[in-house]
Amino acid sequence: MGKLYIVPTPVGNLADMTFRAIEVLKSVDRILAEDTRTSATLLRHYDIHTPMMSHHKYNEHESVGRIVDMIKGGETIALISDAGTPGISDPGFMLSRECRREGVEVECLPGATAFVPALLDSGLPCDRFHFEGFLPPKKGRATRLAYLASLAETTVIYESPKRLGRTLRQLAEVFGGDRECAVVREISKLHETVHSGTLAELEKYFDVNQAKGEFVIVVGGKKEEKRSRREENSEADSTP
């Protein structure tokens, strides 16, 4: 029986690729790629000639069973996405789950993912955080926003440039315009930037400045409201 490797790839700078990831991609029988054209650039850069096979969110339901059979038949396969760690807002979970169910060994290499550097770049608390990924585009969006607004820990959201302005506007409306936030753009790329401020300030900034690239929104958690001295004394008096 073969094995499935889950291999992170750079989210920006190609030099972020690990030596081990290169070694694995050169040694496996086949590479599953989210977009073979995008991944071809990475493979050429590192002189990797392993055959690729397309595996993305539009075909994974149909292809998972066949891939598991290939591995059970002896093939060792590596799964990569266009950027970052497969399964984190990218295809990967379904294949990993099916391999586990079928007794196929799965090994995930440590490596790049966009939300960790964005979280640390933001300067917001990172001892506890909630990773949301992409918000629902329509159905369930309001419910998710209301839930996220109630969290005490930092929230991390992925967003595209086309929807960034709308999302910041909705976050300001639901979370409150004074909530701390950082918008991190183009992680590990030449034009990486971090814009910090309140949600209201960032909404205003991106309303007049065109959003380009890939974005991670990091929003501070809900702060505990300070109670008045009268409320505290009243509670103390009622304690048996």
One-letter amino acid at 129 equals: F
Span 204-223, average pLDDT: 94
Domains in the chain with CATH codes: 3-108 (3.40.1010.10), 115-219 (3.30.950.10)
Confidence class for position 62, pLDDT limits 50, 70, 90: confident
Distance, CA of 134 to CA of 97 (rounded, Å): 21
Contact 79, 4 (CB under 8 A): yes
One-letter amino acid at 36 equals: T
pLDDT of 206 higher than 90: yes
Please list the residues that pair with 53 across neighbouring strands: 32
The structure's pTM equals: 0.86
Residue 204 burial (10 A CB sphere; 0-12, 13-18, 19+): middle
Q: CA quadruple 189, 42, 18, 93: dihedral positive or negative?
A: positive
Contact 39, 82 (CB under 8 A): yes
- Give the tens place of pLDDT for each residue, 80-108: 999 999 999 888 999 999 999 999 999 99
- The three-state secondary structure class of 110 is coil
201 CB contacts (<8 Å, ≥6 apart)? none
Contact 134, 89 (CB under 8 A): yes
CA atoms within 13 A on the CB side of 139: 0
